C-alpha cells in the first residue's frame, strides 16, 4: 500500500473484496474507523467493479475446487490488464487455478516487493510519446460513473452534461460564455462563421500550425494570409504581422477581417500587440487555443479570454482530452455566444426554425461528462508536465546538450502548459530514427509548413517565403512530457540524445 500511496505502483482494490476488508478492519479498529480507513485507501487504491461479463466468463470456466470469489477476482484482474493479484492466500489460490489466468501473477506481498525491487533495477526499453492511460488510475471510477449517468439518462446530445461542462469551463477560462462543440476544428470553423467571414475575404494566421488553423479559412472560401513565426516561441510574430498588413494594397487590406493567432505547444502568443493591430484595423481575433487550456500570457490572462473568441480542442492527446473528438468556444460577447449556439445546431434557436445556415457541431453528452470528471485534475496534470519540462531542461544543461540542441524558451510572465516539449535538433531526422531504435517515441510538429502544402498551392506561396517556419519544420522534435512519465524515463531519453551526438550507436 505504501508503494501505491507514493505513486510508484498503480494498485487497485477489487470491489468484491471490500466486504471482507471491512469485516477484518472492523474487528481490529472498530466499524467507524474501518469506514474511514477504507475511504482513505480508495483515494490511491480505487475499486474495480464486479461486472456481468466477468461473472459469465467465470461461470463458464470455473475450475473444480476453486472458490468463486477468488475466480471472480482473478477474472477482473485479467479483464483490466493487471499484472499481479497480491494476496496472503497466493499459494492456495495458485493451486486452485493452475490451468487459467496465466496473464495474472498470483503472489503474496513479500514476493511482490521482491519483484518490484528487481523491476526497478531493469533498464528502460520503451518510452511512449504519450500514454493516454497514465491517468486512468486516478479517474477510472469517476469516468465509469459519468458514463453510467449518461447511459441511464437516455440523453446523448447536448443537454445537462454539456451545460454543466460549459459553465465549469467558462469559469476555468475566465470567460462569460463557453459553448461545447464537436471538435477543436469545428470550434475554429464556427468562430469564423460567427464572425461572418465571406468568400474572398482574408484571415491572417501562421503557416506553422496544425492544418485545421488554415483549413477552416479555406473551407469558407476565404483566403489565408500567412505570417511567419517568432523563432523562439513558434507563435505568430506580431512585428511581421504588422508588416504583412502594411504591405497589402488598400483593396486587399479592406478584405482582411480576422486574425487567428495560435498558442502553439501550450504557450500563448504575444497577444497585446496583436490585439492592438486588431483594434486599429477592426479585425476579429480568434485564439487557436487547442493546445493551450490553462496557459497564461505575459499579462496573466488565460488563453481564450482576451480575443474575440477562443477555440479549444479536447482531442485525446490534449492536456484535457476526451475519449474522442470534442471542442469548445469561449467568448465574452453575448451576441456571438448566441450565434455560436445556433450555428452548432444548423442555425436554429428553436427546433426546425433556422435563422442561420449552420451545421451539426454539437458536443456529445458522453464527452462532456467525461471531460467534466477530468477537469478537477487538470491543474495537477499541468503541474506534472511543467515539472517534467523543467527536469528535461535542467538535465540537458547538466549534460552540456543545451549548446547542441535548442530548448524551449518561455518569455517572462508567460505560463507554458507544455502540451508538447519541443527541442530544435541538428540532424533531426537521424536523431528521431536513432531514438526510435532505442524505443523512444518522438514526433515532428510539423514537417511541412502550411504554405507549402499541396492544397494551398493556389495561394502562390513558395519555399523561402517564411524562413522561420520552414526552418522549424526541419529542426523541431517533440519529446515525451506527459503526466506519468518517470524521471528514469526522462533520464533515458536525455542519455540517448547525448549518445547520438557523441557518436555512440549502441
Q: What is the pLDDT of residues 412-431, one digit of tens each?
A: 999 999 999 999 999 999 99
Average pLDDT over residues 316-334: 97
pLDDT band per the 50, 70, 90 thresholds, residue 100: low
Question: What's residue 434's pLDDT?
Answer: 98
Average pLDDT over residues 93-120: 78
Question: What's residue 456's pLDDT?
Answer: 98
Question: What's residue 476's pLDDT?
Answer: 98
Q: Which CATH number fits domain 378-502: 3.40.190.80, 3.90.1150.10, 3.40.50.10330, 3.50.50.60?
A: 3.90.1150.10
Question: What's residue 174's pLDDT?
Answer: 97
pLDDT band per the 50, 70, 90 thresholds, residue 6: low
Question: What's residue 83's pLDDT?
Answer: 85
Q: Which CATH number fits domain 2-121: 3.40.50, 2.30.29, 1.20.120, 1.10.101?
A: 3.40.50
Rg (the chain; Cα; Å): 26
Short-list 306, 369, 370, CA closest to 175? 306
CATH of domain 136-377: 3.40.640.10
State the alpha helices, DSSP H only, in 282-427.
334-343, 365-374, 378-398
User: What DSSP element (H or E) covers 145?
Assistant: helix 136-153
Question: What's residue 295's pLDDT?
Answer: 98
pLDDT band per the 50, 70, 90 thresholds, residue 85: confident
- Cell readout for 269 is 502568443
Residue 45, CA atoms < 13 Å, CB-side half-sphere: 19
Average pLDDT over residues 269-287: 97
The set of residues, in sequence order, having a beta carbon less than 8 Å from that of 449 and lying 6+ positions away, is 207, 208, 466, 469, 470, 472, 473
Of the ranges 193-197, 228-232, 346-350, which one carries the lowest mean pLDDT score?
346-350
> Which range, 93-102, 152-161, 174-183, has the best average confidence (pLDDT)?
174-183
Rounded mean pLDDT of the chain? Answer: 92
User: What DSSP element (H or E) covers 51?
Assistant: none
The gap from C-alpha 52 to its chain's centroid, in whole angstroms, comes to 32
Question: What's residue 115's pLDDT?
Answer: 84
Tell me how far apart the alpha carbons of residues 219 and 95 are, in angstroms, rounded to a whole number: 65
The four Cα atoms 199, 339, 253, 310 give a dihedral, to 10 degrees, of -110
Question: What's residue 260's pLDDT?
Answer: 99
- Cell readout for 319 is 492536456
Domain definitions of the chain by residue range: 2-121, 136-377, 378-502
Please give the share of the chain, as a percent, with pLDDT higher than 90: 71
Tell me how far apart the alpha carbons of residues 53 and 69 are, in angstroms, rounded to a whole number: 15
Strand pairing partners for 50? none
pLDDT band per the 50, 70, 90 thresholds, residue 12: confident
- Cell readout for 261 is 493567432
Q: Do 2-121 and 378-502 fold alike per CATH?
A: no
Question: What's residue 158's pLDDT?
Answer: 92
Of the ranges 38-52, 118-132, 179-193, 267-281, which one carries the lowest mean pLDDT score?
38-52
Amino acid at each position: 500500500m505504501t508503494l501505491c500511496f507514493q505513486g510508484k505502483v498503480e494498485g487497485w482494490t477489487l470491489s468484491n473484496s471490500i466486504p471482507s476488508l471491512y469485516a477484518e478492519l472492523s474487528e481490529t479498529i472498530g466499524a467507524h474507523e474501518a469506514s474511514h480507513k477504507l475511504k482513505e485507501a480508495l483515494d490511491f487504491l480505487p475499486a474495480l467493479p464486479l461486472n456481468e461479463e466477468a461473472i459469465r466468463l467465470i461461470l463458464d470456466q470455473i475450475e473444480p475446487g476453486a472458490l468463486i470469489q477468488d475466480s471472480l477476482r482473478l477474472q477482473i484482474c485479467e479483464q483490466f490488464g493487471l499484472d499481479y493479484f497480491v494476496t496472503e492466500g497466493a499459494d492456495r489460490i495458485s493451486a486452485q487455478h493452475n490451468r487459467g489466468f496465466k496473464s495474472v501473477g498470483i503472489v503474496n506481498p513479500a514476493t511482490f516487493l521482491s519483484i518490484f525491487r528487481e523491476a526497478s533495477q531493469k533498464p528502460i526499453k520503451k518510452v511512449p510519446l504519450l500514454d493516454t492511460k497514465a491517468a486512468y488510475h486516478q479517474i477510472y471510477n469517476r469516468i465509469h460513473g459519468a458514463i453510467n449517468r449518461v447511459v441511464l439518462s437516455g440523453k446523448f446530445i447536448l443537454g445537462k452534461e454539456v451545460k454543466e461542462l460549459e459553465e465549469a469551463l467558462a469559469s476555468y477560462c475566465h470567460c462569460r460564455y463557453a459553448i461545447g462543440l464537436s471538435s477543436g476544428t469545428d470550434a475554429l470553423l464556427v468562430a469564423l462563421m460567427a464572425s461572418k467571414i465571406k468568400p474572398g475575404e482574408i484571415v491572417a494566421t501562421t503557416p506553422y500550425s496544425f492544418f485545421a488553423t488554415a483549413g477552416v479559412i479555406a473551407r469558407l472560401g476565404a483566403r489565408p494570409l500567412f505570417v511567419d513565426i517568432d523563432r523562439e516561441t513558434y507563435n505568430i510574430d506580431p512585428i511581421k504581422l504588422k508588416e504583412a498588413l502594411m504591405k497589402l494594397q488598400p483593396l486587399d487590406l479592406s478584405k482582411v477581417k480576422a486574425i487567428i493567432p495560435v498558442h502553439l505547444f501550450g504557450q500563448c502568443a504575444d497577444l497585446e500587440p496583436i490585439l492592438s493591430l486588431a483594434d486599429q484595423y477592426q479585425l476579429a481575433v480568434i485564439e487557436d487555443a487547442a493546445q493551450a487550456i490553462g496557459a497564461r500570457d505575459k499579462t496573466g490572462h488565460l488563453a481564450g479570454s482576451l480575443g474575440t473568441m477562443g477555440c479549444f480542442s479536447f482531442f485525446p492527446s490534449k492536456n484535457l482530452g476526451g475519449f474522442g473528438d470534442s471542442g469548445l468556444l469561449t467568448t465574452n460577447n453575448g451576441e456571438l455566444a448566441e450565434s455560436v449556439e445556433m450555428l452548432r445546431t444548423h442555425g436554429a434557436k428553436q427546433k426546425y426554425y433556422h435563422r442561420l445556415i449552420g451545421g451539426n457541431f454539437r458536443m456529445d453528452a458522453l464527452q462532456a461528462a467525461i471531460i467534466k470528471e477530468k477537469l478537477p485534475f487538470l491543474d495537477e496534470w499541468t503541474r506534472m508536465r511543467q515539472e517534467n519540462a523543467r527536469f528535461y531542461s535542467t538535465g540537458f544543461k547538466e549534460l552540456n546538450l543545451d549548446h547542441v540542441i535548442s530548448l524551449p524558451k518561455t518569455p517572462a510572465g508567460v505560463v507554458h502548459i507544455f502540451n508538447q516539449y519541443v527541442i530544435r535538433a541538428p540532424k533531426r531526422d537521424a536523431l528521431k530514427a536513432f531514438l526510435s531504435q532505442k524505443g523512444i517515441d518522438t514526433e515532428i510538429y510539423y514537417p511541412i509548413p502550411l504554405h507549402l502544402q499541396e492544397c494551398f498551392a493556389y495561394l502562390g506561396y513558395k519555399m523561402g517565403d517564411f524562413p522561420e517556419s520552414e526552418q522549424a519544420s526541419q529542426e523541431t522534435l517533440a519529446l515525451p512530457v506527459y503526466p506519468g512519465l518517470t524521471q528514469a524515463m526522462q533520464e533515458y531519453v536525455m542519455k540517448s540524445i547525448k549518445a547520438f551526438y557523441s557518436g555512440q550507436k549502441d
